[in-house]
Amino acid sequence: MKTLKNILVAALSFAITSTATLAQVDRSHAPEAGPAPTIELGESTMHKLANGIQLIVVENHRLPKVSWTLSLEHKPIFEGNKAGMIDLFGDLMQSGTSLKSKAELDEAVDFIGASLSASAKGIRGSSLTKHTDEFLSLMAEVILSPSFPESEWERLRTQALSGLLASESSPSAISDALTRTINFTNNHPYGEITTAETLGSITREDFQDYHSTYFHPNNAYLVVVGDIDSSIALEKANKYFGNWKRAAIPYQRWDSPDRPRNIRVCLAPVEGAVQTSIKVTHIINMPPGHKDAIAASVMNSILGGGAFSGRLMQNLREDKAFTYGARSSFSNDPLVGTFTAYADVRNEVTDSAIVELLYEIKRINIELVDSASLAVTKNYMSGSFARRLEYPNTAALFALNIKRYKLPEDYYSTYLQKLSEITIEDVSRVAKRHIRPDQINITCVGNPSITESLKQFSTSGIVELYDAYGRPLIERSPAAEGVTANSVITAHYDALGGVKAFSKLKGVQRNGSVEMPGGMNLQFSQTNNYNKKARGARTSMSMSGYDIKVNVVTDKGGFTEKIGSKSIYDGPELIRSQWEELDPIFMLHASEKGITTELQGVEEINGVKYHVISFSLDESINLTCYFDFNLETLSFSKSTIDGPDGPTTTTTTYKKYIEYEKGLSFPIEVITLEGHKQMSTRLGSITINPEIDTSIFKLD
């Protein structure tokens, strides 16, 4: 079999020549194009099984290992009220077969040192060459006879619901949902968003129906890479997959969504956010192999899709210091793709950053790029292409793409030649043809305070509001006449036993358990002393009697200690801890601490109405609380703080208030979601006005 050596040498030679040319370039003239290198791809062998499976084999005998990838080719599926099923299909598919439970299947794969993973579009894995038969037997078992066990589906559903809760506080997840909905609409497969409602409507039978409808050999490619002869690979494929029965595959035609007629601005507001996630985007129609694809890649790389020298990075980061990174993408998709320029910026520069993003997009439409930028970009892209060829899987992927996208046989072998021929005029032509700065969506995820500044970019002057799932947001309505922040908070305490009863508390002792990320379980203990002479709060999490983490706060200060490492509370963390931990009715006393309390109105979320109240104090406290309109109790709260890794939103949910002592009620479970990390604290016992040893609050 031929090797990839020739193509690597040619690609590297092209890169070196380009670098040398760049060092001497006359920036007033485009450099002369060098001779296009001739490259030769590693060989792949093609076979077609009687049942329709198309087999692609790339031999590589350097290591005694073989990888097998079976991929299914069909049009995207619209899930409707079952959105989320396809994302979870692979996990459930490999959770058991008609012959093995999930544990038995995992054990069998591990026993031979193999890997195996499934998705809604196929299955892939690898093993040592000597275990090929054992591995293929397991792979075929998963493909042909998955059991989709009900118990595993319920476990996956629970995990997915927790993931949705995390995504509601994740600016990147919200931005993804918003941008997909706006670009494609929710009536298109690419615009569907998974919600708790759609997860709740999915049944085990939906997975079975999908498998019986789309898992058939006549729309399958089987790619084999590694230490195996082509003839043996064909023999094994026939042995394990040859009896797989053909069947008709449903065909669905999807029309391409429309670009907006002008500039549209959409915002998903996040209370307390200190950054804005911006995307300037619209759909493009450029399937793989399109005549403009290579020139468009060059253009996008110059704009912001490639090296650090991209214009967006140089402008928004290096020149303006608005962001850590600003980039662009230009996706080739057989159905419909997108162009997107994006950056995460500070609230106060949101409008300025959008101005610069639009400026660079318009600039590449109307100005010719300089020859030096073109040379740098082509050099960068040729080097990237060369690096990809170091891996045998690349030759297999190229062969697969040629087949499934019906590309010319020499598409990849002539890539460097076509890249070398791209001119300044080509870059300008594809920019004008495929990027429309006057027909574009601007999506933002950020603080509601930026709304007014965004109106200037909208052709209509309207900023459309959306929730975390890309659904039009029902704007908050004013609270009923006579309802105030104080009356809502008072109603909360009254519903739990009365403001008077809570204000008379001398102390509270809580004990329970904590489920940490990764499934680790700890014991939880919290003591709050409300006596003004020795106010203090101590919270500990322990394992087998040993403290893992301890937090202590008093009127004079506070600290946190983790396995012997102690750090002192200061600034915002101390101010908020003292406010919340040392007063049983702290929300009613916010103004005494200089904290601004404001009733924002009534908001409806997933069919439930909430009174929304914000608490703020400079940069120290930024808390928004949601009180159930009917139950009157605090349902959940959100706060966002700016840390070393950027802003982090914490959502705290209070589950099921239970009456304990003296007619007072407390939540039986508190779920804290910080970024993507979830912690669940479950209350086991509570003691009202216990005897408290105040020495536990010592700060030294």
Please give the structure tokens belonging to residue 549: 């983490």
Beta bridge pairs of residue 540:
525, 550
Q: How far is CA 656 from CA 426, 498, 633, 651, 668, in A?
A: 63, 17, 10, 16, 6
Name the one residue in this structure whose structure tokens are 């459309």: 464
What's the pLDDT at 507? 94
Q: Which pLDDT band, with edges at 50, 70 and 90, does 251 fall under?
A: confident
Is a pLDDT exceeding 60 seen at residue 2? Answer: no
Give the whole-number percent of the chain exceeding pLDDT 70.
92
Pairing, β 677-688 against β 665-674: antiparallel
The answer to whether 449 and 272 have CB atoms below 8 angstroms apart is no
Q: Which pLDDT band, with edges at 50, 70 and 90, does 392 fall under?
A: confident
Backbone Cα Rg of the chain: 30
Is a pLDDT exceeding 90 seen at residue 492? Answer: yes
Q: How far apart are CA 663 and CA 643, in angstroms?
A: 40
Is a pLDDT exceeding 60 seen at residue 525? Answer: yes
Is a pLDDT exceeding 80 seen at residue 395? Answer: yes
3-state helix, strand, coil in the chain (%, to 5): 40, 30, 35
pLDDT: is 517 or 672 the higher one? 672
Please give the structure tokens belonging to residue 104: 């038995």
What would the pLDDT profile of 626-635 be if each residue is shown by its tens digit? Answer: 999 999 999 9
- Which run of H or of E encompasses 677? strand 677-688
What's the pLDDT at 360? 97
Beta bridge pairs of residue 19:
none
Domain 5-40+256-465 has CATH 3.40.640.10: no
What's the pLDDT at 647? 61
What is the pLDDT averaged over residues 685-699?
Answer: 92
How is domain 45-241 classified at the architecture level of CATH?
Answer: 2-Layer Sandwich (3.30)
Please give the structure tokens belonging to residue 91: 């996990």
The backbone region for 487, taken as left when phi is positive above 0, alpha when psi lies in -120 to 50, beta otherwise, is alpha
Q: How far apart are CA 160 and CA 617, in angstroms?
A: 35
What would the pLDDT profile of 198-217 be if each residue is shown by its tens digit? Answer: 999 999 999 999 999 999 99
The answer to whether 198 and 86 have CB atoms below 8 angstroms apart is no
**DSSP class of 302:** I
**CA angle 331-335-338, nearest 5°?**
30
Beta bridge pairs of residue 639:
623, 650
User: Which CATH code is given to the segment(s) 485-697?
Assistant: 2.50.20.10
Beta bridge pairs of residue 252:
none
**CA angle 110-115-118, nearest 5°?**
120
* 389-393, 420-424, 613-617, 679-683: segment of lowest average pLDDT: 389-393
Question: Environment class of residue 401 by beta-carbon count within 10 Å: exposed (0-12), middle (13-18) or buried (19+)?
Answer: middle
- Which run of H or of E encompasses 299? helix 293-300
Exposed e or buried b per residue across 64-77, where buried means at least 16 C-beta atoms within 10 angstroms of its C-beta: ebbbbbbbbbeebb
* 3-12, 223-232, 656-665, 683-692: segment of lowest average pLDDT: 3-12
Please give the structure tokens belonging to residue 142: 């998963």
Exposed e or buried b per residue across 36-48, where buried means at least 16 C-beta atoms within 10 angstroms of its C-beta: ebebebbebbebe
Report the 10 Å Cβ neighbour count for 480: 8
SS3 551: strand
What stretches of 30-84 show up as alpha helix (H) in DSSP? none
What would the pLDDT profile of 65-88 be if each residue is shown by its tens digit? Answer: 999 999 999 989 999 999 999 999
Name the one residue in this structure whose structure tokens are 């970009």: 377
SS3 76: coil
Beta bridge pairs of residue 71:
122, 221
Q: How far apart are CA 558 and CA 536, in angstroms?
A: 9
Please give the structure tokens belonging to residue 343: 């950056």
Q: Which pLDDT band, with edges at 50, 70 and 90, does 344 fall under?
A: very high
- Which run of H or of E encompasses 124? strand 122-128
* 24-33, 588-597, 650-659: segment of lowest average pLDDT: 24-33
Q: How far apart are CA 379 and CA 19, in angstroms?
A: 7
Q: Do domains 5-40+256-465 and 485-697 have the same CATH topology?
A: no
* Average pLDDT score, the chain: 89
Give the whole-number percent of the chain exceeding pLDDT 90.
70
Please give the structure tokens belonging to residue 643: 């840390």
What would the pLDDT profile of 126-179 be if each residue is shown by its tens digit? Answer: 999 999 999 999 999 999 999 999 999 999 998 898 888 888 888 899 999 999
pLDDT: is 89 or 34 the higher one? 89
- Helices 150-167 + 171-184 axis angle, to 10: 100
Of 215, 198, 196, give the one whose Cα is nearest residue 148.
215
In sequence order, the 6+-apart residues with CB closer than 8 A to the CB of 415 are: 39, 294, 385
Q: How far apart are CA 601 and CA 612, in angstroms?
A: 6
What's the pLDDT at 420? 92
Exposed e or buried b per residue across 332-367, where buried means at least 16 C-beta atoms within 10 angstroms of its C-beta: eeeebbbbbbbbbbbbebbbebbebbbebbeebbee
Pairing, β 565-568 against β 596-605: unpaired
Domain spans of the chain, in order of start? 5-40+256-465, 45-241, 485-697
What is the pLDDT averaged over residues 574-593?
Answer: 92
Is a pLDDT exceeding 70 seen at residue 324? Answer: yes
